[in-house]
Amino acid sequence: MSFKDLQLNRPILRAAAEAGYDNPTLVQEKTIPLVLKKKDLIVSAQTGTGKTAAFALPILQLLIDDQDAPRNGKKIKALIVSPTRELAVQIYDNFKAYSTYTNLRSTVVYGGTSIEPQKDVLKKGVDILIATPGRLLDLHKQDVVNLDYVEILVLDEADLMLDMGFIDDVRKIERLCPKEKQTLLFSATIPHKVEFLANTILKDPERIEVTQNASTSKDVDQLLYYVPKRNKMELCLHLLRNTIKGHIIIFRRTKFGVDKLEHTLLKNGYKVNTIHGDKSQTARQEALDQFKKGETNILIATDVAARGIDIDDLDAVINFDLPNVPETYVHRIGRTARAGNLGKAYSLCSADEKSYVQTIQQLIQLQIDVVDDHPYPLDPKAKPIVHKSKKTGSKHKKGRKSEASKKKKKRWY
Ligand code: AMP
């Protein structure tokens, strides 16, 4: 199928061609026709599937068709709500590129940065607004944003939005928009709470599911290192010195963990950038830009800060901490192996994280290869890991009792 088959008009086709898109991705094939039919949608698709263009291209087309409608100045016709600042900026960059050959104007607003320049742009009028929830409500309160003319509302990364505690803000924003509108909800997964939100705000929605999990994980060479918690830092340094080269993201579960690893890597002469929720927006954007330009080759990030950010050409992902939510593992490793390249994912697993490996393996339907030939094995006396069965996952000789089952882990971004 080509973009032409999707009934997109010329300015949009031209922009898609210039972005280097030959054919629509699966989520685009399924989503674009329904958006053009003005349907409400629940789309289950992860970042990396081309989901941004799946809503951005048809939204632009609908707004172009509407351009000649009589009106006074520019009104916000499409509102895209995104949980994180980086994601919002990325969506904005996409809209800007795709609208090159239209007269449509878009802008992005997010917290953690001065509000005045954002107000100035909004006062001039835009057709499309991309926003994080808190800043959007602030601007609305200050009467700079008028949502009375919104025709299309997009809730992107809805599961993350709810995980981050934005549910009340999202509901408020939805109520500030007109009742008669088209609503598109995108979410990597559709847990119960997302389903509930969708049921209460969408009208007779169509469902689209694009599961990319299995194929993504199969394109990645995945390796697992069992290591005592206290030796993770040394093992990470050992791998960076001897094994892992190129453009790398290292994931840690907490901000504190990110800072600690940054400190150690800097001390060891590595050039690194970090992103986590406590950094100012400017610092996060700067870190991301430097990494994307190749000025640094290691980015250390928490999941929430990194989620949805489009970083291409990664050579490897290191899971310094294993995620306790298995889908997060899939998101992380999906960043490598993009565009058909074979990526590498290295996971460092301490005793208390062993149970996470099992749930991850169940999800990806794959046994992760264990590397036990390294200087910091979990149990130096015994051969640490014995692979037995494809079905049941790895069997551990004299495995210490998993602490994860005793301790309930808190999510902490
Ligand atoms: P997304 O899932 O929206 O974050 O998109 C992931 C990446 O896929 C981005 O770098 C897009 O520019 C790229 N992309 C989106 N649509 C296409 C397409 N039809 N063909 C090739 N690449 C695409």
**250 and 218 together in one domain:** yes
Residue 188 has pLDDT above 90, yes or no: no
Tens digit of pLDDT for each residue in 113-132? 999 999 999 999 999 999 99
SS3 string of 305-364?
HHCCCCCCCECEEEECCCCCCHHHHHHHHCCECHHHCCEEEEEEECHHHHHHHHHHHHHH
Residue nearest to atom 14 of ligand 1 (CA): 50
What is the spatial distance between Cα 70 and Cα 394, in angstroms, rounded to a whole number?
66
**199 and 289 together in one domain:** no
Residue nearest to atom 10 of ligand 1 (CA): 310
32 Cα to the center of ligand 1, angstroms? 14
Nearest CA to 133 among 201, 82, 184, 87? 82
**55 and 170 together in one domain:** yes
Nearest atom, ligand 1, residue 20 CA: 21
Instruction: Examine residue 379 and state whether it is found in any structural domain, yes or no.
Output: no
211 Cα to the center of ligand 1, angstroms? 16
Stretch 353-358: mean pLDDT, rounded? 93
Mean model confidence pLDDT for the chain: 85
Q: What is the DSSP string of 61-98?
A: HHHHHTTTS--SS----EEEE-SSHHHHHHHHHHHHHH
Tell me what pLDDT residue 217 has.
Answer: 60
Burial of residue 106, with CB atoms counted within 10 A of its CB: 0-12 exposed, 13-18 middle, 19 or more buried:
buried
Instruction: Examine residue 35 and state whether it is found in any structural domain, yes or no.
Output: yes
Query: 22, 52, 90, 216: which to mutate for ligand 1, most atoms within 8 A of CB?
Result: 52
**Residue 37, domain extent:** 3-210
Residue nearest to atom 1 of ligand 1 (CA): 50
**233 and 172 together in one domain:** no
Phi, psi of 168 (to 5 degrees): -65, -40
Residue 93 has pLDDT above 60, yes or no: yes
Tell me which residues have their CB closer than 6 angstroms to ligand 1.
19, 21, 24-25, 28, 47-53, 310
**CA dihedral sign, ordered 45, 310, 171, 34:** negative
What is the spatial distance between Cα 380 and Cα 378, in angstroms, rounded to a whole number?
6
Instruction: Examine residue 7 and state whether it is found in any structural domain, yes or no.
Output: yes
CATH number at residue 64: 3.40.50.300
In the chain, the number of structural domains is 2
Instruction: Examine residue 411 and state whether it is found in any structural domain, yes or no.
Output: no
**136 and 238 together in one domain:** no
366 Cα to the center of ligand 1, angstroms? 26
Of 163, 189, 210, the one marking the end of a domain is 210
Nearest atom, ligand 1, residue 48 CA: 2
CB atoms within 10 A of CB 263: 12
101 Cα to the center of ligand 1, angstroms? 19
Of 189, 210, 231, the one marking the end of a domain is 210
Residue nearest to atom 16 of ligand 1 (CA): 50
Pairing of strands 106-109, 128-131: parallel
What is the spatial distance between Cα 97 and Cα 152, in angstroms, rounded to a whole number?
19
40 Cα to the center of ligand 1, angstroms? 22
Instruction: Examine residue 393 and state whether it is found in any structural domain, yes or no.
Output: no
CB 28 within 8 A of CB 57: yes
Instruction: Examine residue 381 and state whether it is found in any structural domain, yes or no.
Output: no
Tell me what pLDDT residue 164 has.
Answer: 87
Each residue of 309-326: b (16+ CB within 10 Å) or e?
bbbeebebbbbbbbbbbb
Of 7 and 234, the one with more pLDDT: 234
Q: Using 50, 70 and 90 to split pLDDT, how confident is the model at 382?
A: very low
Helices (runs of H) and strands (runs of E) counted in the chain? 16, 16
Q: Using 50, 70 and 90 to split pLDDT, how confident is the model at 386?
A: very low
**151 and 245 together in one domain:** no
